[in-house]
Structure 1
Amino acid sequence: MPAPERIPTGRVSAGDVLTLLTKGELTVRGQVREASNAVLFCSVAYEGDEVHCVYKPIAGERPLWDFPDGTLAQREVAAYELSEATGWGLVPPTVLRDGPYGQGMVQLWIEADPEAALLALVEDEEPGEGWKAVGFADVGEGRTALLVHADDARLRRLAVLDAVINNGDRKGGHLLPTADGALYAIDHGVTFNAEDKLRTLLWGWAGEPLPEEATRALASVAAALVDGAALAARLAELLTPAEVAAVRDRVAALLSSGTHPLPSGEWPAIPWPPV
């Protein structure tokens, strides 16, 4: 697999990436084999510019009993649209389009910085300065260690976004910090269920007051979700009416409580494996 580029080459601006992903010629270069659904590593070229991307064809999705409506690809695109509405840019540019194996999700490839530390396992019962405790994890041989994540404003924004999109599978491998200090999050197929499905390893702020920037972002999202607004119309193309209504309800609940949500207690709050 060739070395990917995080930033589009040469003349391509951030505003042009969606056009490139939508209209460019997709060429499959390889497959991400450890994924549970079909994930293809591709290049996409348009008018002399080329970037690397991920293509997830709908035909390669495994049916999920608790997500009978719509497709995982549509939910991936809806997560991008919601992320953009917050102004945080946490999800890489993502579009729904035809490809070599039919319609699917196409997303800009992000190269993560392997030196960036956002998660850790520690032997102590306290997370230490700069870290937030999630819970204890089995590390083998009858031993457990405390799973912690960084007390990082970028992760905190993502925790809020996950609460809005009702992410049922936020694992450590979905976090892509980059060398220039940005943070992206991927794999949003299991999202937007009308029932509470939130499972994440970003519980470090559970029950704490939302930061002011989060309440501002949520207020902007709420305004964008009213009937007739562009975001509401776009989500209606990707999700069911019940799912769109549930998004509105979750945003309203977060603004009303003013706090990060707590685990429901009805099922394991942390996905397995967490990373």
Structure 2
Amino acid sequence: MLAFMLLEAGSLLRVEQIIDAVWGESPPRTVRTQVHGQISVVRRWLRALPDTRIVTHDTGYVLRVDPADIDVEVFRRLARRGRRLAATGQPVAAADAYRAALQLHVGPPLGDIDAPFAGAAAARLAEERLGVLGDLNNLDLAAGRHHELIPALSALVERHPLHEPLWCQLLVALDRAGRRGEAIGCYHRARLLLREELGVEPGPELSGAYRSLLAADPVAAGGADLTRTLSRLAEAERMLGEIRHQLSLLGIDAPAARSEPPTTPPAPLCPSGDGAGHEEVAA
């Protein structure tokens, strides 16, 4: 109850809202008595804190507390300050504000709270943190810290594999570090994950970063086109195999399969200056 009230500090919380948040859809018959009892417990906890109290209204309760005493509110205030500073051309001060905000996140949000409201609230807080982290990463990329960012971004995309902005930043960092082949592979891995998990293609930011990467290196673009073509041929071969299997179950003879799969990659077509195949195409 205290965690829920802190997240909604300053707002009138109706008793029904508190019941839904803390007990969910199947509250006990004595739930209203329990609400009053827990409010009394929380009031006792707050007695030692100046200017912090629970005010009773006809339909519910309001937690009155200084926003500077709530980490979530301090985090949001620092995030807003960082964005204002970044927008007015003060990247160093903006980065300091973002880092101070991120230091307030210790462990998973609401990690020890087991109540119906906690799941959605924790997800919202985690998303806010990722947003600030992304803003800080962009400042660090602009400051030329791509080498330092690569390990952290690599770990972040493992923890948040469907968060496209992180993939985009990793792609840019790898490219600026001279690891273009890895950047191309990074994009295709992200694209595969998004298609398999969500059934969607990468959004405009990630797709745009990839197109910029290929535009800067036509040879890499050729290698990427070859990779996509071979991937599509392999998918077509798999689907034909499934069709043959279904036909055989029905007792229908299917056309004979090709003696050689069409997905065998040709030899590299783009030699480098010394006559060897281009390493990214060969890869």
TM-score (norm 2): 0.23
TM-score (norm 1): 0.23
Relative to its length, the structure with more helix (as a share) is 2
Relative to its length, the structure with more strand (as a share) is 1
